[in-house]
Structure 1
């Protein structure tokens, strides 16, 4: 960036960053997804922690200490494999967030219904309400991110409270209901054994995806105070909160209601409402719904904030039009990239809904998001392996054992990621029009990724002409 150009403001310390990781690392919708498959999902959470989350965090810490500049996995894969692979990794991650926004905001809409008590429950299957809520919320968080992290970080911090707060409330309600009336789910040793059929294995991919988020802040290193020291300090703090919320939250939902009754779009608030009614605390449902709504808004805002830094970094490299590299003269944010990200997310919201119901749209958007995100995650693990033989100008942050330890964990993470990629391609078992779902998943994903190759080569040609 030109020396006289405005620079992003470094405003995030360890506490802000830990809260940012929590709000992007915890998504309450995955608690409902896991609980719908019964007690065996708790074991799958532990497996995902060991086989994906831990290797992923170690990879992020090492790569962000090697390349602390803004751009995250785009920079890491570019340095490991060259500009084309780096661009496609960044593009794939960027496009993974396009279906993410409508999917998480659809989930948010399903929970926001409970803010109105019983008078709003008739909206539960109304696609106009869900789409309208998602588009309005997307416009709001886009505006917040243009104003910048000096304001946006407070939405992220409030969003973090809106993530662990509801999880804690449901945990307490579930425990109270269990204490007074017993568990709604019959727990036996056999019920914790994972089921190896396609319906359950598709859920495994979603649970692994739920534990992503450690990569987010590295895209915004230019807005973090001393990122080489701050990121390794914030990640373990956030990791304890994230994993605890997921595992204990899933257990609490199953205490409150049987897995067969859990709705993946409204499972957490649904469990909270059932448990609250049992213990005579029905009044808590409205504030619980409000917290969940706020938490998901914060999460969507956090991902919009980090994902928009990819076209910003690529614009600096002149592989996208230079306008993407512009920062706002007053707020110091990559406002063009943020506007494009928000606008494309709105388009995906409308396309995902076409020809299906609310749940069908949600499932397609989730599958698209998992596939487009896990492709660059696989490249992150490959980058760790590839870069082990390359000397670093700075001291690397990694576990004792050096190259051997890093390579072993990267291989474990890579195998898990590739497995999740395959499983995410299957349509949901309860999808009535499986062919349409598959066409949407593969067709929209192919369009998003294919357009990346086109943009790259057009950018290369434009850069050569400008040279």
Structure 2
């Protein structure tokens, strides 16, 4: 859990414990909404998850543990990449992680609204007004919680991730076991080791990028380094706990869904609730579908909150160092970066409005979604490169957790992660089957990625001495 002490100004200082840190990572990564997209691959989803675990989950977990314990100054990926390659590259890494959220927010918000509809009336999902209203309540409500600082956000993560992600994943898994043990018909073929192997071809290659980045977010706890009393010991334990929870909950719950719903009938938007409806109806527990929908809705909100506050805090650190105009350095008495939170909420709201009310933008939105993959690949490539570089440039820096195996071990972990994200970047440029203009698609994705990644270079070019902390800093003392 978290601990509190009084600072010299009489403001409570929140210290995060191992459980709180682990829940931040689980909240960011364990997303039930991803299970249906994996369940359509049946037994081979195990093989896909193993690929993602080997090429990304394990490397980013080990890299995050070493970097967070060696450089716990706050700022997450910004602090790590800055130490290795300088201020500019650190700024680019953090900004890419923040800007990709702006397009991602509407997808998780629509999942929240669609899931909540199962607790009310499923037909509501066809109402743009309902969808947008619930999306905005969730978005601005979560932003309001982040406004009250680390204590409020931590409480939401601690209890919300258990209620909304872990419990539903466990319930889905137990129902899958019951389905299997009671002799119910499985829609999957008979299990064999050959069924686990994923089929890799030109059609499934674009999916590879999705699989690798299913575990994106394992570095989220690093943004909270300044709120940890003993980061050198607590970070490795928290990352290990969260990785185990994420891996087993993800595989077990995905297979449970694959047991009962044929791939060609599985809705990627509401597949989780489809499976729960099947399970509960068969067990005579239909009355519990609504409460489960509420729990999963909470899980979606917690997932949103983790990505909403983490990169925003990192951007606040960059602004404090004078690399952005003073308005982005604006914080309140709780230490929350209010200007960044409001800015991303306004931009996310506009994109959500277009997403709900203008279905004709679907193709453009697909391109934007591809950009989020490319942006995350840039972030993680820089993180893995920083891991290797810092072993050479700062070999004597105390690292309470060090990747075992010396330099070969670091090269294996960092190299494997870097290769995974580079390959994901390349296949992420492959258009979906219904796009005829491949060159146009690739150019659009690359240009959009450039536009979303280049602002740090502009800010640094326009940087003024007056932007530095203490020069013209505005601190909101809201009561």
TM-score (norm 2): 0.88
Q: What is the match of residue 393 of structure 1?
A: 397
CA spacing shift, 1:285–1:433, aligned 2, 3 Å:
farther
Q: 1:263 and 1:379 mapped to 2: Cα distance? A: 35
Q: 1:215 and 1:186 mapped to 2: Cα distance? A: 37
Q: 2:368 and 2:284 mapped to 1: Cα distance? A: 37
Q: What is the match of residue 42 of structure 1?
A: 46
Matched, 1:175 2:177: yes
Per-residue CA deviation, residues 321-374 of structure 1 (Å, 9 max, x unaligned), is: 233233312x22222222222222223323555753697687555433222222
Q: 1:128 and 1:451 mapped to 2: Cα distance? A: 34
CA spacing shift, 1:66–1:335, aligned 2, 3 Å:
same
Q: 1:458 and 1:356 mapped to 2: Cα distance? A: 38
Structure 1 residues 139-218: aligned runs within 5 Å: 139-161=140-162, 162-178=164-180, 179-189=182-192, 190-218=194-222
1:280 to 275, 279, 284: 284
How many Å apart are 1:289 and its aligned residue? 0.7
The 10-residue stretch of structure 1 (162-171 or 198-207) with the greater mean CA deviation from structure 2: 198-207
RMSD over aligned CA atoms reads 2.8
Matched, 1:371 2:374: yes
How many Å apart are 1:298 and its aligned residue? 0.8
Per-residue CA deviation, residues 238-288 of structure 1 (Å, 9 max, x unaligned), is: 111100111111111111212222111111111111122222222221111
Q: 1:371 and 1:432 mapped to 2: Cα distance? A: 21
Matched, 1:97 2:101: yes
The 10-residue stretch of structure 1 (201-210 or 405-414) with the greater mean CA deviation from structure 2: 201-210
Q: Is the 8 A contact 2:324 2:463 kept in 1?
A: yes
Q: Is the 8 A contact 1:8 1:222 kept in 2?
A: no
3-state SS in 2 of match to 1:265? coil
3-state SS in 1 of match to 2:430? coil
Gaps of 5+ in 1: none
Matched, 1:313 2:314: no
Q: 2:382 and 2:12 mapped to 1: Cα distance? A: 27
Q: What is the match of residue 61 of structure 1?
A: 65
Q: What is the match of residue 33 of structure 2?
A: 29
Q: What is the match of residue 333 of structure 1?
A: 336
Q: What is the match of residue 252 of structure 2?
A: 248
CA spacing shift, 1:183–1:85, aligned 2, 3 Å:
same
3-state SS in 2 of match to 1:9? strand
Per-residue CA deviation, residues 132-165 of structure 1 (Å, 9 max, x unaligned), is: 3222211110000001221222211232121111
CA spacing shift, 1:364–1:122, aligned 2, 3 Å:
farther
Q: 1:5 and 1:203 mapped to 2: Cα distance? A: 51
CA spacing shift, 1:303–1:197, aligned 2, 3 Å:
same
How many Å apart are 1:434 and its aligned residue? 8.6
- How many residues are aligned here? 460
Q: What is the match of residue 130 of structure 1?
A: 131
3-state SS in 1 of match to 2:167? helix
